[in-house]
Structure 1
């Protein structure tokens, strides 16, 4: 994931700050993901209302809340079970 300049924006925020303040002022900033882009506002809306004490708190939250466009092949794993709430391929035993 590339922050596309949003990293500088995150550093420049006055802390503490909230998801609501970031979305209102910078929600249209785009993150470049492996398979497309996603708006910062859309990512942070998934988290609900949070208060951030530092830029690193915001970065960790954004990284944890990006959608499926941030991963490689969706549902692919030769070891992990399908995650809760997901439906993946039917396992095949060889």
Structure 2
């Protein structure tokens, strides 16, 4: 399941709810991530026991609970600052 599908799944849940109920209802669903998979149970266990008044709050908790499997290259940015004393690369227009 994609993250978008997981968000839609959380939309279908009845609110207010808490972490334990979300895990009981949807914890066995597996999310496909760029560097592996995680179940919703693993994700929500990282967040801790919370009460969610809406699906938006549950979705934000899900995104916050994702591990480093959800990101591409760790510690990489193509937005590194220009070294002091240089002017950096020329701007490129696409």
- How many residue pairs match? The answer is 80
Distance 1:3 1:52 in 2: 18
TM-score relative to the length of structure 1? 0.73
Instruction: Note the residue ranges of structure 1 that are not aligned, 5 or more in a row.
Output: 81-94
CA contact under 8 A between 1:3 and 1:30: conserved in structure 2?
A: no
Q: Once superposed, which parts of structure 1, at least 4 consecutive aligned residues long, lie more than 3 Å away?
A: 77-80
Q: CA deviation at 1:6?
A: 2.4
Which one has a bigger Cα radius of gyration?
A: 2
Q: When you count helix as a share of all residues, which structure comes out higher?
A: 2
Instruction: Note the residue ranges of structure 2 that are not aligned, 5 or more in a row.
Output: 82-94
TM-score relative to the length of structure 2? 0.73
RMSD value over aligned CA atoms?
A: 2.1
CA contact under 8 A between 1:18 and 1:51: conserved in structure 2?
A: yes
Distance 2:7 2:47 in 1: 19
Q: CA deviation at 1:72?
A: 1.1
